[in-house]
Chains A and B, each alone.
Chain A
């Protein structure tokens, strides 16, 4: 599985992270909201020493 940061173009601000698995057509775009459980899982993944790919 892979996380990649997303920079929103209107305000030029990183506001989400994309989650995807190799070979799977499903993509999640996860907001930076502490109450969002996908974001909580992302933070756990980061806390485990991982780093998301940089935004384009």
Chain B
């Protein structure tokens, strides 16, 4: 038996070591490119989970932050145009889905303050291993797959919301009409800040449309204190309804190497998403979705426990319409259009743990009677959102 004694192993054509061996303590550091668990900080990077909806159209003057696929939001501050954001089965080999952006209606001129950004915020307390703001800050590598119809240059935009200096980083990429993988390694940020809390510690975004106010002149080579979301030279994604962009396989990891995409099970990915969104019912006509009781003659309450605990006290998102819902009790039903409000446990430990919805419009009954809540329309949707 013999022992190989070396300080490092490096590929013949590589510029850095694949394995660095500590000369005294019997350990090593290796840049292994596959099969490592929990290295991808991005949730639903393979665009598989769509609790809210598989398709939604975002118009210029609507809700500024719109979500379809879990954890992915489309920020749109434009004077015109619309984008359809959907889950697509168009995907590279080894993936089943992608996120599809398509121009729904055009906006031929980009105003100075216009901005469209598809992105994901990452919870700050999940990023403490980046060492941001310390002398041990780590490099960050982001990788993704994309392809396009009518390809146009876009910007990968990254920032630390908690930081003042060392905050912004932008770099341009141009997709082609075929699937390809792209990556960038961001410099270690010794001057940035990521608070150790449940807020947004890092946002990565793709900017396909941006005015001059938020554009910088060239790709970043270091973190900047100036608020920018794009690099000049990107295209106008809203100049034709034929413009389509597909993205999937998004990964953010510590280090300077883009390792293989970390495929997690559907259940694992869904559970991660449920910290930020939990579906109670959606498109599920004629089914019970909860139990409740008449608190008094005009108020029905439904207790709810979140599993897992959500990031913060969530927003109740619901579709409302004539007699969309029913409360069945004592041999009869009370129909109603939607829940009126809620109560939530609060405080640091209890926020996002449990609560109760109530309805007090259009219903009347006997205090103390129990029953079941029932969806009575295919358009019914109730979900909880604690997104970043």
Contacts and interface: CB of A to CB of B under 8 A. Distances in A.
Contacts of B317: 26-28
A14 B266 CA distance: 39
A28 B387 CA distance: 13
Interface residues of A, number: 26
Contacts of B339: 29
B344 interface: yes
Nearest to A16: B341
Contacts of B311: 35
B62 A10 contact: no
* Interface size grouping (class) on chain B: 35 or more
Contacts of B351: 33, 35
Contacts of A36: 312-315, 386
A38 B358 CA distance: 20
A50 to B, nearest CB: 14
A31 B311 CA distance: 13
B232 to A, nearest CB: 28
A49 interface: no
A9 B358 contact: yes
Interface string B307-325: 0000111111111110000
Interface string A16-56: 10110100011111110101111101000000000000000
B315 A9 contact: no
Given A8-B341, A10-B343, A25-B320, A31 B314 contact: yes
B159 to A, nearest CB: 16
B248 to A, nearest CB: 25
B176 interface: no
Contacts of B64: 41
Contacts of B299: 9-10
B313 A8 contact: no
A41 to B, nearest CB: 7
B288 interface: no
A30 to B, nearest CB: 5
B341 A25 contact: no
A33 B313 CA distance: 6
Nearest to B197: A35
Contacts of B312: 33, 35-36
B117 interface: no
A22 B360 CA distance: 22
Nearest to B121: A37
Interface string B367-388: 0000000000001010001111
Given A25-B379, A27-B338, A35-B198, A41 B65 contact: yes
A35 B121 CA distance: 14
A9 B386 CA distance: 24
Nearest to B356: A10
B340 interface: yes
B273 to A, nearest CB: 16
A45 to B, nearest CB: 10
B48 to A, nearest CB: 23
Contact of A29 (B342, B360, B381, B386): B342
Contacts of A16: 341-342
A10 B358 CA distance: 10
A29 B316 contact: yes
Contacts of A21: 62-63
Nearest to B318: A27
Nearest to A34: B312
Given A19-B63, A30-B315, A33-B346, 5 more contacts: A25-B321, A27-B338, A31-B313, A31-B344, A36-B386
22 contacts: A1-B63, A8-B341, A10-B295, A10-B301, A10-B343, A21-B62, A25-B319, A25-B320, A26-B317, A26-B319, A26-B320, A27-B317, A27-B318, A27-B320, A28-B315, A35-B199, A35-B311, A36-B313, A37-B65, A38-B315, A39-B315, A41-B64
Interface of A: 1, 6-11, 15-16, 18-19, 21, 25-31, 33, 35-39, 41
- In the A-B complex, the 10 residue pairs with the closest CB atoms: A35-B312, A33-B313, A29-B316, A31-B313, A6-B341, A25-B319, A38-B315, A30-B315, A28-B315, A27-B320
